Structure 1
Amino acid sequence: MEIEILREFNWNGREKIFIDKETEVNCIFVQAGVGGLTPLLDADGKPVITRSWN
């Protein structure tokens, strides 16, 4: 999997939104003590996909 940082935030720790270059699925990484990476989901529970992002 090749990923790239799409956005960075600093709400309660370190948050970053990554995009998987192959599938175009967005993932969110949250680090507040320990970290975790999970797909970013829309209101219907489907993965958020960013097309033509670069």
Structure 2
Amino acid sequence: MSERFVEVYSQGVTNVRKVFVDTETGVNYLIASSNMTGGCGMCALLDADGKPVVTRLGEDDVVMMGQLLNRE
């Protein structure tokens, strides 16, 4: 896995919401935009206790072109 950030979720065409995982720290980030060419917002996702949501990606996770394809 050579990509630093991996897209793990995507929703919408005009009002876009994407979740990326930092492959080094496992921290999840939300990217939101109503128009991906006019700017966007980004923030770390937090759990109920206010701590960052962490997704550990292992060597066996399949990543192609920066996107997580499947986890078993």
- What TM-score, normalized by structure 2, do the two folds share? 0.64
- Structure with higher strand content: 1
Query: Which has the higher Rg, Structure 1 or Structure 2?
Result: 2
Alignment of 1:45 onto 2:45: no
How far 1:38 moved relative to its partner?
0.6
Identity of aligned residues (%): 37
- Structure 1 runs of 4+ off > 6 angstroms? none
Partner of 1:19: 21
Partner of 2:30: 28
Count of paired positions: 54
For the aligned residue pairs, the C-alpha RMSD in angstroms reads 2.2
- What TM-score, normalized by structure 1, do the two folds share? 0.82
Task: Flag structure 2 segments of 5+ consecutive residues without an equivalent.
Answer: 62-72
Task: Flag structure 1 segments of 5+ consecutive residues without an equivalent.
Answer: none
